[in-house]
A and B are shown apart, each in its own frame.
Chain A
Amino acid sequence: MTDPRGGSRNNTLLIGGIAVGLVAILAVVAIFLTGGDDEPAADAVQEQGPVEVGGSALPPFPQVPALVAPADQDPAVGQTPPTLTGEGFDGERVVIDPADGTAKVVVFLAHWCPHCQAEVPVLQGWIDDGNLPDDVEVYGVSTAVTQDRPNYPPSEWLEREGWTGPVLLDDPDSSAATAWGLRSFPYLVFIDTEGKVVARASGELPADQFADLVDQLAA
């Protein structure tokens, strides 16, 4: 008969060896699956840009248990937000001037936020269905850009979603978002032809509520 203690020790060594071997194999598999080294730097498309803020800031979005802040609880209603002058993904100049005579919706988006990821196709689908009046513009502002966070880069995300409106890139300090009173993502500001805030919303706004607010602008 073999020595049971020796057999047990052999088994223990065997199991331990298998465990260590498996971990080493998994490390190799992980390197193989991901191609090993860091990805090369992105191309010439920029994800952030300088922003010039002209005018006084809007008060922060009120903390209310509703997507759309009620007018009597939102001090920004009736105020004119500051003009934002900045750049788009290709370095082109993008200006959001509330008082340029055109009614507009400005949508602040963070690429890593799941609620923004859900909101973009809702809005774009509504626009693609031809619902957006000709005299209302929809601007995107890509803010809180962080390379380490999910769904980077925002340029590829918005291209993937077929986003058609002009996109202004916020700076690393989120100057544009701060000046417009952003508190959480996504954040939508509705502005009439006189450049005054009609309503503000934060969160996943359903298409019908978005449409109602756009109707107020076009009226």
Chain B
Amino acid sequence: MSIDAVTTFLALLAVLALVVVVVSLAGWVAGRVRGGLPPALQSLRDAVRELALRGAFAVALTATLGSLYLSEVAHFPPCELCWYQRIAMYPLTVVLGVAALRRDVAVKWYVIPVALIGAGISTYHYLLERFPDSVASSCDAEVPCTVVWVWKFHFLSIPGMAWIGFAAIITLVLLAQPGRETTEDAPT
């Protein structure tokens, strides 16, 4: 696969994750307004809740591997802000991996603060890319954070995808609930 194909794939995954975030938010609002979801959607929601921790782990793993691909294979040098986002994202892979194995939904208390910090840095980085003149009017000869390496579907850059990753992780750990049978199936 070419670099372009991989970045397009990552961007498509980000769009999928964004859909998950938006649908979850819409479901939550609808549940609040209508005082509960229809039974068919409830069972769907319960199924999603059971898979949510594994989903969050998959998002963190994809973001980590994706960022490593971009720096080590595609040779896009990570700028300073990229590194701060990596600092937030990489440990989440390990933490969410362990939590998914242990089905420990309480992990959200540790994951959400880190993911919020990461999303904050992504927001700032994305705005810098959109408005490069706001910080400087020239590019440092090294690696400026204003350079846009990837631009897909007219709205997705690398920090844009990172933001969606953090948002999806927050959404999924909030959704996560130990399934009824999983507590019984858990090893003793």
Contact = CB atoms under 8 A, between A and B. Distances in A.
Does B associate with A? yes
Interface of A: 5, 7-9, 11-12, 14-16, 19, 22-23, 26-27, 29-31, 33-39, 67, 110, 112-116, 118, 144, 148-150, 182-187, 202-204
B9 A150 contact: no
Contacts of A19: 51, 55
A27 to B, nearest CB: 5
Contact of A8 (B55, B149, B181): B181
Nearest to B140: A184
Nearest to B137: A203
A16 B53 CA distance: 12
5 contacts: A37-B2, A113-B139, A144-B141, A148-B76, A184-B139
Contact of A204 (B44, B137, B180): B137
A26 B15 CA distance: 10
Interface-centre pick from B3, B16, B47, B136 (highest chain A CB count, 10 A): B47
Given A30-B8, A186-B138, A203-B136, A15 B76 contact: no
A114 B131 CA distance: 10
A148 to B, nearest CB: 5
A184 B48 contact: no
A119 to B, nearest CB: 9
A113 B8 CA distance: 22
**Nearest 10 A-B pairs (CB), nearest first?**
A11-B47, A203-B137, A30-B9, A113-B139, A203-B138, A184-B138, A26-B12, A30-B8, A34-B5, A204-B137
Contacts of A113: 138-139, 144, 147
Contact of B13 (A26, A34, A118, A187): A26
Given A23-B13, A26-B13, A186-B138, A12 B47 contact: yes
A25 to B, nearest CB: 9
Contacts of A27: 9
A185 B141 CA distance: 7
Given A26-B16, A34-B8, A150-B148, A8 B180 contact: yes
- Size bracket of the B interface: 35 or more
Given A8-B46, A8-B181, A11-B46, A150 B8 contact: no
A149 B16 contact: no
Contacts of A110: 139
B43 interface: yes
B51 A15 contact: yes
B185 to A, nearest CB: 10
A5 B138 contact: no
A149 B5 contact: no
A215 to B, nearest CB: 22
